[in-house]
Structure 1
Amino acid sequence: MQNAGFNIALLSAPLLLASLGALTSEYSGRMAVFLNGIINLAAFFCYAFSVLTGSFIAGSFLSVFCCTLIIFVSIRAVESLHANPFLASLGLNLFTGALVSVISVALFATRGVLTSPAFSFPAARTRLSTAVIALVFTAAGFAFLYGTKYGLYIRITGKDADVLSSRGINVSACRTAAWCIAAFYGSLAGCILSFRLSSFVPNISSGRGWLALAAVFLGRRTGWGTVLAVIVLCAAEYFAANLQNVFQNIASPLLIALPYIASLVLIVLVPDTKRGE
C-alpha cells in the first residue's frame, strides 16, 4: 500500500503542475483550455532544444520560455481585440499541434516518435527528481497565489474585476499574468513528461491538459480541493495500469480510459459550489 501511494505521488507530478496552472487561470475568469496543446508543444521543444544545444537544462528553459511567450502574445491579442478567450484558447490547441508537426518534419524529418542518445535519462532517478521539482514549483505557486497581493489580485479578477478597476489595478494585466502562469506550469509538465520517457511521443500529454481542467472543477475551484482531485485521478490511472496485468480479458482501451471515466463521473456527482450559491 505504501508503495502504491509513493508511485501515485510520482505519477501525479505533471498533472499537479498543469492543474495549478488551470486553477490560476480559472481564478482570473479565463480558463486555460489551451493547456493540453501547450503540454505537447513544451515536451517537443524540450526534446528539440536539448538535442540541438546538448544541454537538457537549456532545453527546458528555452521550452518554457517559448511556450510562455506564445501564450503571452496570444492573450495580449485576445485582450486588445476583445476576442472570445474560450475560442482563442481552443484555437491554440490546434495551432500548437500543427506547429509541432511542421517543426518536427523540418528538423527531424518525421512526425513520429523522436529519440536520441543525447536525450536519455535513468528512469527511476528521473521520476523521483522530476516529482521533487514539481512539488517545489507547486509549493511556490501556492505561496504566490494565496500568500501575495498579486496572487490576491488574480483571485479577485474573475469575480470582482470592477473592484480592482476602481482601485486602479489593471485587470487585463492580471488576466495576462494568469494565462502566462498557466502556460509556465503547463510547459513544466510537458518537460517532465519528455524527460520521463527520454523521448518525444506525439500526443505525449495523453489528455492531461483536459484532466487538469477537470481537476479544478472537481476540487471546487480551491487549491487543496484541486490537489485532492489530482490524487484521485492519478490513483485511477495507476490502478488502471496495474489492472491490465490482472484482467487480461478486459480490453486495454477501456482500462486506459478509466481516469477519464472517473473524472466524468465525479464531475456529474460533485456539486458545483457556484450553482449552489
Structure 2
Amino acid sequence: MGDLFINLLYYTIKYSTPLLLCSIGGVFVQKAGTMNFAFEAAINTSCFASVVFSVITGRPVWGIISAVLSCLLINAIFGMFVIKFNANAIIVGLSLNILMMAVPPYLLQAFFNSRGLLMATDIIDVTAFTLDIPVLRNIPVIGAVLNNQTVLTWLTYLIIIILSVVFYKTKYGIYVQVTGENGEAAEAVGVKTNHIKWAALAISAVCCALAGLNLTFEQVGSYSLNMSASRGLICLSAIECGRRLPGRACLFSVLFGFAKALQLVISAYLSPDISLVMDIVPYMAVILVFIFAEIPEAKKNTMRVFKDN
C-alpha cells in the first residue's frame, strides 16, 4: 500500500509537468482576451520538431532550438489570423490542431519511410535529464517521490513562480489583465493591446515547447503520432476551471496529472482487457471537474435559471 501511494505521488508530479507548463503560459494568452485553441498543435509541433531535427543534425541542442522556434511559428500563425485579421479563434485553433495531426505522418513517410514512429534513443539520452539528488536519496517517502525527477520537472516550478510574479507584480502583467477585461479602455489610456497579446503568445509558445520537450527528451526519446494526447485541450480546461489565474490553473493541472497517474498505477494491477478501459479516466476527470467547477459560476449568471428543490 505504501509503494502504491509513493508511485501515485511520483507519477502525479511526472505527468503534471507538461500540463503545468502549458497552463502557466496559456494563462497569459487567455487572460489577455484571446481564446487560444492551438495548445494541442503547439505541443505536438514541439514533439515532432525536437525529434526530427535531433535525428537530422545528430545534435539534441538543435532539437531543443527547433522545438521553441516551431511553437513560436504556430502561435505566430494563430496570432496573425486572430489578432491581425480578427478571425474566429476557435476555428483557427482547431484548424491548426488538425493540420498538425496530418503533417507529421506525411513528413515521416516522405523522409523517414515511417508513418507512425521516429526513434531517436541513440541521440537523445533520456536518463541524462533525470536528476539524482544525494540529499533526497535517503529521505523516506519524500526522496522516493521527488528524487529522480527530470530537469524540466524541477524547472517547471521555477517557471511557475517567475511567471506568477510577472502576472501579479509587473506592469506587463497588469496590462495583460486590463487588456482582457476591457481592451478598448486599455487602448484609451495608451496600452498597446495587440503588443500585449503578441507577447502573451510568445510566452505561451515557449512554455508549450518545453512541454513537448518534456514528453520527447525526458520521457521516451522518440516521436509517435498524436504524442500530445489531448494535453493541450486538457490545459485549456485547467485554465478555464481556474478562472484564468496562474495558481488555480496550476492546481487543476496537478489534479488532471493525478488522474493520469491514477489510471497508470491502477492499470498495473488489472488485467490487460480491463486496463484498457482505465484509459478514459483522465478524460472523464476533465469532464467531471469542468462541470463541478462551472456550476458555482453558472448559478451567478442571471440569464440562467436554477431551481432549488
TM-score by length of 1: 0.91
Q: What is the Cα deviation at residue 181 of structure 1?
A: 2.0
Structure 2 counterpart of 1:9: 13
Is 1:130 matched up with 2:135?
no
Whole-Å Cα distance in 1 between the matches of residues 272 and 123 of structure 2? Answer: 39
TM-score by length of 2: 0.82
Whole-Å Cα distance in 2 between the matches of residues 245 and 2 of structure 1? Answer: 14
* Count of aligned residue pairs for this structure pair: 277
Whole-Å Cα distance in 2 between the matches of residues 124 and 179 of structure 1? Answer: 27
Structure 2 counterpart of 1:200: 223
AA aligned to 1:25 is V
SS at match of 1:270: helix
Whole-Å Cα distance in 2 between the matches of residues 231 and 40 of structure 1? Answer: 20
Match of 1:96 among 80, 100, 114: 100
Is 1:120 matched up with 2:143?
no
Q: What is the Cα deviation at residue 249 of structure 1?
A: 7.1
Q: For 1:1-277, list aligned pairs within 5 A.
A: 1-116=5-120, 117-122=122-127, 125=130, 127-195=149-217, 196-248=219-271, 251-271=274-294, 275=298, 276=300
Considering only aligned residues, what root-mean-square deviation do their CA atoms show, in Å? 2.1
Whole-Å Cα distance in 2 between the matches of residues 184 and 81 of structure 1? Answer: 23
Cα deviation, 1:202-234, whole Å, max 9, x if unaligned, reads 111111111101111222322211111111111
AA aligned to 1:218 is C
User: Are the equivalent residues in 2 in contact too, given 1:236–1:259 (CA < 8 A)?
Assistant: yes
Asked which structure has the greater CA Rg, the reply is 2
Whole-Å Cα distance in 1 between the matches of residues 128 and 258 of structure 2? Answer: 20
Farther off after superposition, 24-33 or 133-142: 133-142
Whole-Å Cα distance in 1 between the matches of residues 79 and 7 of structure 2? Answer: 42
Q: What is the Cα deviation at residue 166 of structure 1?
A: 0.7
Whole-Å Cα distance in 2 between the matches of residues 40 and 249 of structure 1? Answer: 28
Identity %: 25
Whole-Å Cα distance in 2 between the matches of residues 238 and 254 of structure 1? Answer: 15
Compared CA separation, residues 249 and 120, structure 1 to 2 (3 A)? closer
Q: What is the Cα deviation at residue 123 of structure 1?
A: 7.8
SS at match of 1:246: coil
Gaps of 5+ in 2: 132-148, 302-309
Whole-Å Cα distance in 1 between the matches of residues 153 and 196 of structure 2? Answer: 29
Q: What is the Cα deviation at residue 255 of structure 1?
A: 0.8
User: Are the equivalent residues in 1 in contact too, given 2:212–2:228 (CA < 8 A)?
Assistant: yes
AA aligned to 2:239 is V
Whole-Å Cα distance in 2 between the matches of residues 112 and 135 of structure 1? Answer: 33
AA aligned to 2:104 is V
Compared CA separation, residues 138 and 52, structure 1 to 2 (3 A)? farther
AA aligned to 1:172 is N
